């Protein structure tokens, strides 16, 4: 729920009821966070921020201006995706090299030792890219579930507090029920305040008076359950975010290792080709 929290000042001398507004969700999706250093050009290093998101590439159109329809999100840096694909093409090129070229490469231990290492690491990177995308999807779903839970709780609190304001006018009662106080603007604090509001409404004489106004103890108990659901949804979203961050970091580290191995392979292959210009150059080299 990405909306403004209430900003109504409370008069300390004469407490007055304040309007309710929803909490301001402080959610930064790992899937939509800062670019990893992989995308920014530092392809050999994992993300330094620990954040798991990559910015989208934009379809510019004729004017080059970004629009919502033209913007495309990528769950992995385009440069990473391209490098992994190019690595596969280079390894395939070595596998299909001429017999003489393969003999020379085998003689210095490049084939199959180095090529097998690179192929295995490439498969690891591909698997981790898929895992990272699934983690980002799980985080997106957790954020949606959290927003729904907070919206339900917000609606119930607005109704409860609206009824309370029609029943209670004494300043001391307003303080006891939390009606003179603005709702917090962050998720965790909002849920804590909601729990306090419900607990106050469950106590007599307030509960009895509310029941007389058709706001029964059962309805208040339902709001208490909504508080628990919202709290669990926030915890689930936080866990999903952490999982997405970890998945990104692991992917970036594996990609750095693939780059290191491929660089070693290219140096050695190019060295052989330099010493034997008569042999056919493999595809991708």
| Interior angle at CA 128, CA 123 and CA 134, nearest 5 | 135
pLDDT confidence of residue 70: 52
pLDDT confidence of residue 270: 96
* CA proximity to 77, closest of 273, 251, 258: 251
Q: How far apart are CA 133 and CA 195, in angstroms?
A: 35
What's the token pair of residue 34? 């800062």
pLDDT confidence of residue 182: 87
Q: What is the mean pLDDT of each run of 10 residues along the chain (285 residues)?
A: 37 44 57 40 38 44 47 87 98 95 93 96 99 98 99 97 97 96 94 98 98 97 99 99 99 99 97 94 92
* CA proximity to 188, closest of 148, 146, 225, 224: 146
| DSSP code of residue 112 | I
- Ramachandran quadrant class, 29 (left: phi over 0; alpha: psi -120 to 50; beta: rest): beta
Pair 228, 221: CB distance under 8 Å: no
User: Which residues, other chains included, contact 34 with Cβ-Cβ below 8 Å and sequence gap of 6+?
Assistant: 49, 51, 53, 55
Q: How far apart are CA 142 and CA 236, in angstroms?
A: 6
Q: How far apart are CA 147 and CA 205, in angstroms?
A: 33
pLDDT confidence of residue 190: 98
pLDDT confidence of residue 74: 87
What's the token pair of residue 133? 């995308």
Maximum Cα–Cα distance for the chain, whole Å? 98
* CA proximity to 209, closest of 217, 197, 219: 217
User: Which residues, other chains included, contact 61 with Cβ-Cβ below 8 Å and sequence gap of 6+?
Assistant: 67, 70
The two counts, helices (H) then strands (E), for the chain are 7, 2
| Total Cβ atoms within 10 A of residue 154 | 21
């Amino acid at each position: 729920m990405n909306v403004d929290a209430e900003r109504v000042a409370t008069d300390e001398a004469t407490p007055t009821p304040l309007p309710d507004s929803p909490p301001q969700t402080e959610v930064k999706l790992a899937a939509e966070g800062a670019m990893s250093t992989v995308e920014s050009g530092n392809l050999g290093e994992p993300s330094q921020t620990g954040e798991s998101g990559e910015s989208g590439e934009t379809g510019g159109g004729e004017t080059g201006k970004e629009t919502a329809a033209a913007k495309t999100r990528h769950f992995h840096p385009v440069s990473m995706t391209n490098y992994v694909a190019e690595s596969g093409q280079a390894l395939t090129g070595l596998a299909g090299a001429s017999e003489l070229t393969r003999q020379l490469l085998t003689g210095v231990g490049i084939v199959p030792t180095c090529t097998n290492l690179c192929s295995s690491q490439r498969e690891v990177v591909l698997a981790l890219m898929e895992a990272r995308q699934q983690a980002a999807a799980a985080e997106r779903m957790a954020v949606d579930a959290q927003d729904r839970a907070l919206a339900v709780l917000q609606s119930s609190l607005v109704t409860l507090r609206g009824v309370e304001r029609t029943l209670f006018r004494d300043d001391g009662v307003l303080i006891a029920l939390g009606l003179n106080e603005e709702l917090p603007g962050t998720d965790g604090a909002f849920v804590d305040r909601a729990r306090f509001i419900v607990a106050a409404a469950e106590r007599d004489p307030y509960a009895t008076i509310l029941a007389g106004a058709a706001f029964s103890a059962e309805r208040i108990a339902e709001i208490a359950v909504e508080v628990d659901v919202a709290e669990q949804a926030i915890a689930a979203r936080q866990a999903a975010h952490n999982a997405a961050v970890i998945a990104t970091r692991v992917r970036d580290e594996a990609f750095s290792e693939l780059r290191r191995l491929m660089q070693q392979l290219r140096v050695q292959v190019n060295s052989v080709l330099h010493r034997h210009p008569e042999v056919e150059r493999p595809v991708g080299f």
